[in-house]
């Protein structure tokens, strides 16, 4: 099965829609790894697209901060129906797809659950403890695919704003659960008024 992985949209509707449109014909399902919104800024269009499309989705730290702030939730223009649906979105999803076990979180599967799991992080080595074939996460805005024990840890980077050193592009990924191949796709961030083609590459070890 081919899974589209999208994370850290941060209200960037143009990037989000481009990623979903490109993924549509190429994958069996799209998974959202959290942070659709940015701090206390809520995008009815981004959240509505995700929920209306019925995409599997885990909350990120920005959704949690927003939902805990009554002033942000009550701002004029915020669609309260969407907020209500957002409160039902889980922090973690464990599921089996085509015989492979997936653990989906935004930042970290380990308490306090908000650490940054960069490549080379000592905490990343603990991912071998996860009872899953794939651990899918975001939060760092930096693409990564590393195997730890029997678990392949995949971060598609950010479709909202890259923090990948030397890159001004946003990114998403496609995971093949049969071959364990991870394809990274990048394109210029439309928020900067730049247009360009989507560039494909292999991400990390299979």
For 143-167, the DSSP string reads -EEEEETTEEEEE---SS---STT-
β-strand pairing of 182-188 with 169-176 = antiparallel
Architecture of domain 2-202: 4-Layer Sandwich (3.60)
Neighbour order of strands in the sheet with 169-176 = 56-57, 29-32, 2-6, 169-176, 182-188, 199-202
Give pLDDT tens digits for 138-196: 999 999 999 999 999 999 999 999 887 777 899 999 999 999 999 999 999 998 888 89
| Domain extents in the chain | 2-202
Closest CA to 33 of 121, 127, 135: 135
DSSP H or E segment with residue 63? helix 61-67
Give pLDDT tens digits for 47-101: 999 999 999 999 999 999 999 999 999 999 999 999 999 999 999 999 999 899 9
Distance, CA of 190 to CA of 84 (rounded, Å): 30
The pTM of this model reads 0.95
């Amino acid at each position: 099965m081919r899974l589209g992985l999208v994370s850290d949209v941060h209200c960037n509707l143009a990037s989000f829609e481009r990623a979903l449109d490109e993924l549509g014909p190429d994958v069996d399902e799209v998974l959202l790894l959290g942070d659709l919104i940015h701090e206390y800024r809520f995008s009815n269009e981004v959240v509505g697209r995700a929920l209306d499309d019925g995409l599997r989705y885990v909350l990120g730290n920005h959704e949690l901060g927003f939902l805990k702030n009554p002033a942000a939730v009550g701002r004029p223009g915020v669609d309260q129906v969407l907020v209500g649906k957002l409160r039902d979105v889980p922090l973690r999803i464990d599921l089996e797809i085509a015989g492979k076990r997936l653990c989906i979180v935004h930042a970290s599967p380990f308490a306090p659950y908000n650490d940054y799991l960069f490549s080379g992080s000592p905490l990343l080595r603990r991912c071998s403890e996860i009872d899953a074939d794939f651990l899918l996460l975001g939060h760092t805005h930096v693409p990564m695919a590393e195997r730890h024990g029997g678990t392949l840890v995949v971060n598609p980077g950010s479709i909202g704003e890259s923090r990948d050193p030397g890159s001004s592009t946003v990114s998403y990924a496609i995971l093949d659960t049969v071959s364990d191949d991870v394809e990274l796709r990048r394109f210029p961030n439309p928020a900067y008024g730049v247009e360009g083609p989507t560039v494909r590459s292999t991400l990390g070890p299979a």
